[in-house]
A and B are shown apart, each in its own frame.
Chain A
């Protein structure tokens, strides 16, 4: 039987560009350059490797996001995923993590899965909670923040480098996993891959397709609210000295003045 892998990928504003908030205090996704979250490239990479090592596997990439989020799916398809699912609905604007996990869970169930692979965190929200929320919603084990992962005999195993210890984890499929940027370099799409991606199927789903009411998601359906977002005042320009033999002394002087020494 085929191993069905679903990779959750997010389309995010480019971190090296100018990120900001829209008037309704949601992340502005209209006027900015977006891309497949770099941390989700690692998830795609590990999913492809797991598929390559399986007898028979299919990799579906899934995103919840606006029209432009198709770019993220295209990138993942050109890396080698087989097909894509795009959940897009105007009512999704402003959905928080709990709401997004509902949409992803329903979409994953509709697609059918043995293994869900996520990135360690999105580069815009950086919450790192979606995989745990998905596991809770789907009622399947979570094996998250893995820097090494393998799937064999209906089980996923992997290494989690925690704060206090390194743990070796094991869970039976179906399961939700997330992988870190330590899991291994993500491949670049080849020219052939980019051409092939154009012909791969992208299924579009809206909230109706997933039996989700509009008031369960979006800004109104969110269980959290941002009341204020202020640009951090620029740091006041510091003192910069050129070391001409006295740099260390000058720095020590500064540190002493600040009571660090």
Chain B
């Protein structure tokens, strides 16, 4: 069977969930070969194997952390040349998309970004994309070279399928352009203890209606009762009430959870662009005309300061 390269997104060897989704999707096309760059390949390998990686190509070098994007492209290209895969799959993070695009150009292949599903087709993998703020669903193919496709988080449920997952060290020669952009310093994001926004099964977001940084605890408390991640509209972020890293929408994170709860959010097109593919959508808004109600499975017209705390209590009571 043909091999499919899967670029591993991880934090020091802790494999992030979107990678497991990619391994699951890759198996529809061929045998997944994971590409692990940076530290922790040996600890990652067990997880990668569990989800179907027949092999793990690993490389570690200071360049990956010290310079932006290009060293990783050099390494992924080395893996591509070693394997001659049927496709290359990369998680759809900002960096993932940049890596994928540069690799595609180098190897003379087309690139598709932000797929939400992937199937094998007669003439190569078929990618489903959700476009124009999820108003349209498209099916696309790469018609030249080896398909390079980035896939959004929450596009598939990870399924275990144990395989060998043998680690092989790769040797990578970095091109002279790889050190062009220096990462002078890096401040890791502090963990909130809540699930990662893009990976969470449930997201509770607050908007302008939350009316102040101090009030966001109302949103956080509801999120915690559900084990959810916290999101925010741009209006709330621009007002300085919540960090930009939590913004949902066109210029923030794109989320596709099982359940999305919007509180005090009107539902502008740019916000919808980042959450409209959520499976179940719930809104609490005091304006019954708010466009968010066009999207919801369940909507409560009411004051979020009344509804959210009561809902939180209700959930806690039911969970015992």
Contact = CB atoms under 8 A, between A and B. Distances in A.
Interface of A: 15-16, 19-21, 25, 39, 96-98, 101, 120-121, 123-124, 126-129, 131-133, 135-137, 139-145, 147, 157, 160-172, 175, 180-182, 222-232, 235, 238-243, 247-252, 254-256, 258, 260-261
Interface in B289-320: 293-303, 306-308, 310-311, 313-315, 318-319
B133 interface: yes
Interface string B135-159: 1111111111100000000000000
Interface stretch (B28-36, B49-57, B186-194, B210-218): B186-194
Instruction: Give the dominant DSSP class at B's interface.
Output: mixed
A168 B280 CA distance: 38
A163 B95 contact: yes
B251 A232 contact: no
B280 A98 contact: no
A191 B136 CA distance: 39
B114 A254 contact: no
Contacts of B302: 242-243, 247
Q: Lowest 10 CB-CB distances: which A-B pairs, in order?
A: A243-B302, A223-B110, A141-B180, A248-B310, A129-B101, A223-B144, A132-B98, A252-B314, A224-B110, A240-B299
A250 B311 CA distance: 9
Contacts of B245: 161
Given A132-B98, A226-B139, A258-B280, A165 B188 contact: yes
A258 B282 CA distance: 12
Contacts of B142: 223-225
22 contacts: A15-B250, A98-B110, A123-B250, A126-B114, A128-B98, A129-B111, A141-B68, A144-B68, A164-B188, A169-B182, A175-B181, A224-B112, A227-B126, A227-B141, A229-B139, A232-B136, A238-B281, A247-B302, A247-B310, A250-B300, A252-B315, A260-B280
Nearest to A157: B184
A167 B258 contact: no
A120 B251 contact: yes
Contacts of A222: 110, 143
Nearest to B68: A169
Given A163-B95, A228-B139, A243-B303, 17 more contacts: A15-B133, A131-B98, A132-B98, A141-B68, A141-B177, A157-B184, A164-B188, A165-B188, A167-B185, A167-B186, A169-B183, A170-B181, A182-B244, A229-B131, A247-B306, A249-B310, A251-B311
